Amino acid sequence: MEVNPLAVILVYFDSKGDRLLYRYPYQTLGQTLKLEEPHEEQPNKKRNPFAVASTDDLLQTPTHQHPTQAQGQGQGQLQGFADDVLSALFAVKPQLCNQKFELKLNDVRFVSHPTLISVVPAVTSNSASNQTTTSGSNAASSSVAVTVAKKQQMLINIVFALHAQASYSIVKCYHELSKRLGLALKFEEQRSGYLTEQTAYMARTHDEQQQQPLERTFELIAERCSLAKALKSICNDLCTTGLLSTTLNSNLTLTFCLPAKAHQLHKKGSMVDPETIDRCLRALKPYHGMLLLVDFAELLDCVPPTGARMLWQLVDAYNPLISLQSMASNADLSIEHVYKLVSHLVYWAKATIIYPLCETNVYVIAPDAPLHTKSHLVEKFSTRFAGMSLFEVISDFSLPTSIGHLTTPLQQPARQGILAQMVLWMLQHHLLMQLHTYVQFMPSDDDEFGDSASCNQTHMPGSCDNLTEEERDDDPLHGGSILSMSSQPLPMPVNANRRPMVEDHDSLASDNIAVQPSSSHKSNFSMTASLSTDNCDSLDSMEDEQKLKELLQVFNDADRAAIRRIPASLNVDDLSLLVKLYQMGYFKSEHHLEEIMYFENLRRSQLLQLLDKFRDVLIIYETEDPAIASMYNNK
């Protein structure tokens, strides 16, 4: 799907009539052949003798056309439409002004926003004043200039010719650009009569160059008129970068971004439309970070001069290692202003959203990373990091790997800093994607593991007794890091010392009865003291058991039975945290660990310990953040 415009056309209409004043590109347009041309020049094509030519629709009436000059588009140029035809089409009636205008002819779609502008020309007339004679003075006659205000209206229509298959979002962007240009010209016309002056220059040039080729006339207009020069620059910028920063009448700066084109500068082939960017930015949270994709000097092109000061405040506090909330605090800006600035930079393909760089971040090679041997990024990486190979560095991320696994405490700080810079460089060029850990509540059936646990207690692979000290440190289920595992869901092993919850409750109740002191043992002081202590413990355990029952009421019967089999469910604090996170909806694979940590004010170690204790009912997996990944996954 093409995003480049085929042409930009300027049509003017006033009381004297309509006229196409300028268009670019202004190469020779394909013209239809005359009917009296010999038929030998037409291609020899066998015609169906039973075919009937329909003449009801003039646009579909067959005309004798050269095969390489048919109406529509050819080699990225607008072809086959005469200027007088285009002028008549786009000089719309006042009822169609100040709204979207869209017209499809063959394989070309014309989009514009006709703007009606009020013009107040100054009409000067001279009238002789009455001659008066006074004593001591000569008779004098004076001419008084009388200005008559006569209100007129003119229509200005800046039309963009696009490919007919252009998507709705692209058409919407070009309509917005035509609307902004119309409003800017209206403002300058009311301020200084700029539009009247420019259209007069263009019309005069057309009259003077009637005997010259039309292409030469348009070239001369672009040299003489600043408005034509601006339209030419706009068309060229749309075809190259998709970023505009044009000043009209040396006064008004117009900035515009075509996201579908601009984001291809950083990831070729990606089709990023404004709707996708909006969905990503709506998911922006204070814990997110920002990564600039361009140098600081290129940032001012995307903001008007009035917004440059606030942007530089954010740039001064920019650091990919900290969150947006920290940057807002350091820049003395509200988080809402930071959101708007970051959203603007992301829309203009000047920045992207990341999670702040830290040792626990897990990265893997992006599936669409351009890592072929002839990629220009290979040489670019070697230039940026002398003596380093892109393939050698990125091979460490063939499997999901955290930055902490690539560093050791014995490494020099400079080496760790270079590694961080290389990771940031690969993120800027979309060679890596970050994986986040998500949690899903998935309890097992009641009897799925009950019997097998008692039969295989001594032979369970996860038993601590069968592990050496070194293996125990590496095992994520016995002190190791959960994030060090692969992206596969966590296994759900059975605890060797687990007993059915009903038996535990029965034994607990029997113990409470047995500890009641009897009269036959009152003479034994030590036994009495021990029983008294057991009585206090029993009361506490009964209170805890009552609280545990209340916490478990949030689950259904099957889930409650699965949780009861876990030893950690007897701990009030652990179960309370589990229930809290469950009720908040964090165990539905919709929130990653960093988000849970931020909103619930938890440390990573707390959360990982909870996941490890309740690993029988909680599974984890690693994937990219869908809100951020959606920007570059649409092609």
pLDDT tens for each residue of 134-181: 444 443 433 333 344 456 888 899 999 999 988 899 999 999 999 999
What per-residue confidence (pLDDT) applies to 544? 75
Express each pLDDT in 177-218 by its tens digit.
Answer: 999 999 999 999 999 999 999 999 999 999 998 888 888 999
User: Residue 255 above 60 pLDDT?
Assistant: yes
Of the ranges 319-328, 458-467, 503-512, which is most confident? 319-328
Least confident range of 437-441, 459-463, 553-557, 615-619: 459-463
User: Residue 494 above 70 pLDDT?
Assistant: no
Nearest CA-CA partner of 245 in 195, 303, 311: 303
User: Residue 45 above 80 pLDDT?
Assistant: no
What per-residue confidence (pLDDT) applies to 492? 36
What per-residue confidence (pLDDT) applies to 211? 83
Mean pLDDT to the nearest integer, 374-387: 90
Dihedral sign (CA 361, 362, 366, 370):
positive
What per-residue confidence (pLDDT) applies to 528? 45
The most distant pair of C-alpha atoms in the chain lies apart, rounded to whole Å, by 148
Q: pLDDT higher for 225 or 499? A: 225
Least confident range of 258-262, 307-311, 428-432, 614-618: 307-311
**Identity of the residue numbered 319:** N
What per-residue confidence (pLDDT) applies to 483? 37
Mean pLDDT to the nearest integer, 487-515: 37
Alpha carbon distance 587, 440 (integer Å): 5
Mean pLDDT to the nearest integer, 318-334: 94
Q: pLDDT higher for 484 or 52? A: 52
All residues at 6 or more sequence positions from 193 whose CB lies less than 8 Å from its CB, including other chains: 119
For 429-492, give the secondary structure using H, E and C.
CCCEEEEEEEEEECCCCCCCCHHHHHHCCCCCCCCHHHCCHHHHHHCHHHCCCHHHCCCCCCCC
Mean pLDDT to the nearest integer, 226-255: 92
All residues at 6 or more sequence positions from 296 whose CB lies less than 8 Å from its CB, including other chains: 315
**Neighbour tally for 526: CB within 10 Å:** 7
Alpha carbon distance 584, 321 (integer Å): 29
Average pLDDT, the chain: 76
Express each pLDDT in 279-309 by its tens digit.
Answer: 888 889 999 999 999 988 888 778 777 778 8
Q: What percent of the chain has pLDDT over 70?
A: 71
* Structural contact between residues 185 and 248, judged by C-beta atoms closer than 8 angstroms: yes
* Structural contact between residues 235 and 218, judged by C-beta atoms closer than 8 angstroms: no
What per-residue confidence (pLDDT) applies to 48? 53
Express each pLDDT in 107-119 by its tens digit.
Answer: 899 999 999 988 7
What per-residue confidence (pLDDT) applies to 96? 85
What per-residue confidence (pLDDT) applies to 472? 42
Report CA-CA distances (Å) from 527 to 509, 534, 591, 603. Answer: 20, 11, 54, 45
User: How many residues belong to the chain?
Assistant: 635
Environment class of 434 (CB within 10 Å of its CB; exposed 0-12, middle 13-18, buried 19+): buried
What per-residue confidence (pLDDT) applies to 43? 44
Alpha carbon distance 190, 151 (integer Å): 12
What per-residue confidence (pLDDT) applies to 94? 82
What per-residue confidence (pLDDT) applies to 307? 74
What per-residue confidence (pLDDT) applies to 272? 83
pLDDT band at 540, cuts 50/70/90? low
**Identity of the residue numbered 81:** F
**Neighbour tally for 66: CB within 10 Å:** 15
User: Residue 99 above 70 pLDDT?
Assistant: yes
Mean pLDDT to the nearest integer, 600-624: 93
Express each pLDDT in 472-485 by its tens digit.
Answer: 444 443 444 443 33
Least confident range of 75-89, 157-171, 531-545: 531-545
What per-residue confidence (pLDDT) applies to 196? 92
Dihedral sign (CA 44, 48, 49, 54):
negative
pLDDT band at 131, cuts 50/70/90? very low
Express each pLDDT in 419-452 by its tens digit.
Answer: 999 999 999 999 999 999 999 999 876 444 444 3
All residues at 6 or more sequence positions from 547 whose CB lies less than 8 Å from its CB, including other chains: 572
What per-residue confidence (pLDDT) applies to 396? 93
**Identity of the residue numbered 572:** V
Nearest CA-CA partner of 202 in 12, 5, 430: 12
Mean pLDDT to the nearest integer, 59-69: 39
First-to-final CA distance of the chain: 10
Is the entire prediction scored with pTM above 0.85? no
User: Residue 105 above 50 pLDDT?
Assistant: yes
Express each pLDDT in 336-376 by its tens digit.
Answer: 999 999 999 999 999 999 999 999 999 999 988 888 888 88
User: Residue 75 above 70 pLDDT?
Assistant: no
pLDDT band at 89, cuts 50/70/90? confident
> Per-residue DSSP letters for 92-117?
--GGG-SS-EEEEETTEEEEE--EEE
Alpha carbon distance 236, 243 (integer Å): 10
Q: pLDDT higher for 18 or 578? A: 578
